Structure 1
Amino acid sequence: MHSSYPIGTPGEKWGEAQRLEWRDQTTIKREYQKEVVPKINALSEQFDVEQYGALSYDAERYPLFCIKSTNWDRTKPVVLVTGGVHGYETSGVHGALKFAETQMAHYSKYFNIVVAPCVSPWGYETINRWNPLAIDPNRSFYANSPAEESANLMKLVESIDGNILVHVDLHETTDTDESEFRPALAARDGVEYIAGTIPDGFYTVGDTENPQPDFQAAVIASVSKVTHIAPPDENDEIIGSPMTQHGVINYPMVKLGLCGGVTDCQYGTTTEVYPDSAKVTDEECNDAQVAALVGALDYVLTQSQP
């Protein structure tokens, strides 16, 4: 099965004109400054809120913030939480913020924590996977990145004082991945779109080079208390990748330029919530992201016990 996309010529990569045509059809659908920034600022009473950059598309509209645990202690390992690398994935943003609001104070007893809740605020506002240049930030975590969102986050990571032991990158897999984003990607790159299947439920993506299966299993077990875990398709795969255990697939994070490869952490996972299920509410999706983080950090704490 294949489909054409309304922008560009099938079989030909987009040039600047097609990228501009794509950007011109985007619209603001929700406001970062009203829905996200106030939640970040409200956390400044408990934690250190720092601006680590801004997007040049509109620096005043799109400042980039992180939330850090106070009383930074170099004897503690560091936990990095990233959300909204794909701005349209709503629970990635609001799940990160809910974790900071409800759980971060507790885990700050054991870890230094840095939360970057909305890496791609333009994508958040326009409900898009790409940035305004039709570039996917989550394929752009490498030197001299063409994506400002990725480059700013990499600078933040470089500035962190201490060893990053854990990185949890919060994402969603949505029905629009097949109805809009993958067809657009095929059109942009001048290749045929081959339809895939959206998994019904939560899953995680580990790193092929450092899979940490017990860690992934702990995340899945924690999330299963909140929402259902995605089963494999008829090929025993999830989104075209072999399922390595219940609810888990692996990607080569660094090779693909994924946010999950932005650190040299020992324990890393990318969460994938399914918000379009009739079985879940928006808040349950946020809760699933929090549960993933709780499961991840509780597991790491058990590994550090004598």
Structure 2
Amino acid sequence: MMTAATYPIGLPGTPWGEAELDTWRQHRIRLRNYAEDVVPRIDALSAQFDVVTYGELNYSDDSYRLFALRSRDWNPTLPVALVTGGVHGYETSGVTGALAFLETQAAKYAGRVNLIVAPCVSPWGYERVNRWNYDALDPNRNFRADGPAPESAALIQLLSPLHGQVLMHIDLHETTDSDESEFRPALAARDGKDYEPGEIPDGFYLVDDSDNPQPEFQQAIVTAVEAVTHIAPPDAHGNIIGSPLVAHGVIEYPVAKYAMCTGITGAPYTTTTEVYPDSPRASPKECSDAQVAAVCAAIDYVLTQI
């Protein structure tokens, strides 16, 4: 386990400068290929959905087009349901789950809801299995109008015409062992702060918005996912990742304060999923299936509230 004192980049207690950032970038090796893994699946869906290119990232020698898929027969009288995945590129089932939902389940909602899905918000992070973007920024803490992360800014721009029209937004994530072995120590090192070890929960959980809690919505999702994979129990202090458990499988964050993805549309029903792919009790397919179950349960619930 790394600590801020032993993280191989930077000096303890000193925030990174450009030299440390350059060193960090040099060690981020491409481990998978967005153009081969993700884009062909999006292209294959173009017969059923309108594919929108909503931005392009240009990082050194790498460029990535950002894609969203929209219901082909968009009806302005219907509610809008938004699904986002891959905000943290390393969280694989967020990407695969969003795509699998479109491939296997989205058709049953035709004529009932307008769908918009951004399956891989951070392709540079996807390729390098990393939480951050090229600039060592966390996209899911930079969803604000003046934010420095281009992945976040592009999604905000795409969705700005829909502000106030989105009924539900579900953002698909994972909590992994690498959060403690790499990403939280890296964050402490980057910011020149002390690293305090945490505990990785074994199982699925949700993050509700503490400023707009929707407990029945969250529990409908947890109940559906529980048929697919196990739900994370709290630790000995009654917490999950340092936050008090407010209900079975649910914690809360101040979404707007943290500039998280689920705060960008003003949707009344929002949640962030967290799947645990490193559990000995789960498989990659199970994690992806859990994300699909969460999306379906979220849409099913909000349709009953109309």
- Aligned residue for 1:113, secondary structure, equals strand
Identity of matched residues, % = 60
Q: What TM-score does the superposition give when structure 2 sets the normalisation length?
A: 0.97
Which residue of structure 1 lines up, in the alignment, with residue 266 of structure 2? 264
Alpha-carbon offset, residue 297 of structure 1 = 1.1
Whether the 8 Å contact between 2:89 and 2:125 is mirrored in structure 1 is yes
CA distance in structure 1 between the aligned counterparts of 2:219 and 2:18, rounded to whole angstroms:
44
Q: Please give the residue correspondences for 1:225-244 in structure 2 after superposition, counting only pairs within 5 Å.
A: 225-244=227-246
Alignment CA distance shift 1:251-1:88 (3 Å): same
CA RMSD of aligned residues (A): 1.4
Q: 1:281 aligns with which of 259, 283, 286?
A: 283
Runs of 4+ off more than 6 Å: none
Which residue of structure 2 lines up, in the alignment, with residue 85 of structure 1? 87
Alignment CA distance shift 1:161-1:180 (3 Å): closer
Which residue of structure 2 lines up, in the alignment, with residue 45 of structure 1? 47
User: Where does the alignment leave 5 or more consecutive residues of structure 1 unmatched?
Assistant: none
- Aligned residue for 1:110, secondary structure, equals coil
CA distance in structure 1 between the aligned counterparts of 2:122 and 2:56, rounded to whole angstroms:
10
CA distance in structure 2 between the aligned counterparts of 1:44 and 1:59, rounded to whole angstroms:
28
CA distance in structure 2 between the aligned counterparts of 1:58 and 1:162, rounded to whole angstroms:
36
User: Where does the alignment leave 5 or more consecutive residues of structure 2 unmatched?
Assistant: none
CA distance in structure 1 between the aligned counterparts of 2:121 and 2:283, rounded to whole angstroms:
23
Whether the 8 Å contact between 1:74 and 1:161 is mirrored in structure 2 is no
CA distance in structure 1 between the aligned counterparts of 2:13 and 2:163, rounded to whole angstroms:
47
CA distance in structure 1 between the aligned counterparts of 2:219 and 2:61, rounded to whole angstroms:
40
Paired residue type of 1:107:
Y
Which residue of structure 2 lines up, in the alignment, with residue 186 of structure 1? 188
Q: What TM-score does the superposition give when structure 1 sets the normalisation length?
A: 0.97
Alpha-carbon offset, residue 15 of structure 1 = 0.9
CA distance in structure 1 between the aligned counterparts of 2:14 and 2:163, rounded to whole angstroms:
45
CA distance in structure 2 between the aligned counterparts of 1:295 and 1:228, rounded to whole angstroms:
16
Whether the 8 Å contact between 1:123 and 1:131 is mirrored in structure 2 is yes
Alpha-carbon offset, residue 162 of structure 1 = 7.0
Number of aligned residues: 304
Q: Please give the residue correspondences for 1:1-306 in structure 2 after superposition, counting only pairs within 5 Å.
A: 3=3, 4=5, 5-57=7-59, 61-160=63-162, 163-304=165-306
Paired residue type of 2:117:
V
